[in-house]
């Protein structure tokens, strides 16, 4: 590997670190607001959105650990951390998928709809472009440096964006026609995506240096 290539990779890792710190800042705020709004509105969807933000913060923390190892010890020393971070990221995706399924099932079983939340709607609308930007940048860097763990973390951001759309759709329909079941049904649409990406991350195939 040439010096230029090494420096280019280091720059990408630094960019990834910055994205992870931005992710933590955004998701901690999201979690606090969404969980508070969810409790106030008796909304399982908003609570799921808040818990997703907690999981995404944990995933970002794992990636910061993995990326710092590479910056400190080099790419060769990051392979073990990559596999461990990838498995943790996959496990978090499985946990989120399970929570979405259980939340949706409980919502449908109890036939209890959420109350309209202006705060929740505003938060979800704001989260969509932010999560899209973060996910796009993370996927780009993950492909460049061959990191399955970073890709799994990007999926967390994508999931947060999709859940934001679910929240917006659920609250809007709830406000317009009072369809109590809409948030539970629409939330199930992302489960297949979570399971698919979780399985790929859990396999933890060595991607370092594959590009």
- Answer whether residue 149 shows pLDDT above 90: no
Query: What does the buried/exposed string (b/e) look like for 34-63 if buried means 16 or more CB atoms within 10 Å of the residue's CB?
Result: bbbbbeebebbbbbbbbbbbbbbbbbbbbb
Percent residues over pLDDT 90 in the chain: 23
Report if residue 151 sits inside a domain: yes
Q: Residues of 80-114 as b/e, b for ≥16 C-beta within 10 angstroms?
A: ebbbbbbbbbbbbbbebbebbeebbeebeeeeebb
Residue 147: C-alpha distances to residues 159, 173, 186, 201, 211 (Å): 19, 39, 31, 10, 10
Confidence band for 211, pLDDT divided at 50, 70 and 90: very low
Within a domain: residue 209?
A: no
In-domain check, residue 123: yes
- Residue 174 belongs to what domain range? 3-203
> Sorting pLDDT into bands at 50, 70 and 90, what band is 106?
confident
pLDDT of 69:
83
31: phi then psi, degrees, rounded to nearest 5: -60, -45
- Reference 32, options 16, 14, 47; nearest CA is 47
Residue 208 lies in a domain: no
Task: Look at the chain and report how many structural domains it folds into.
Answer: 1
CATH of the domain at 173: 1.20.1510.10
The pTM (predicted TM-score) of the whole model is 0.75
Q: Flag whether 162 is in a domain.
A: yes
């Amino acid at each position: 590997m040439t010096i230029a290539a090494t420096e280019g990779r280091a720059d990408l890792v630094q960019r990834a670190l910055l994205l992870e710190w931005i992710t933590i800042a955004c998701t901690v705020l999201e979690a606090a607001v969404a969980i508070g709004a969810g409790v106030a509105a008796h909304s399982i969807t908003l609570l799921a959105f808040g818990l997703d933000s907690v999981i995404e913060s944990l995933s970002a923390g794992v990636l910061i650990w993995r990326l710092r190892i590479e910056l400190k010890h080099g790419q060769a020393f990051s392979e073990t951390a990559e596999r461990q971070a990838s498995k943790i990221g996959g496990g978090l995706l499985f946990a989120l998928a399970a929570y979405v399924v259980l939340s949706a099932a409980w919502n449908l079983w109890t036939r209890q709809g959420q109350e309209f939340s202006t705060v929740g709607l505003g938060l979800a609308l704001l989260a969509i472009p932010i999560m899209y930007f973060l996910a796009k940048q993370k996927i780009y860097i993950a492909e460049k440096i061959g990191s399955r763990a970073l890709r799994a973390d990007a999926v967390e951001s994508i999931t947060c964006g999709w859940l934001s759309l679910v929240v917006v759709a659920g609250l809007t329909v709830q406000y317009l026609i009072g369809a109590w079941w809409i948030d539970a049904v629409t939330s199930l649409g992302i489960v297949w995506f979570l399971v698919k990406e979780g399985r790929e991350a859990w396999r933890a195939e060595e991607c370092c240096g594959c590009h």
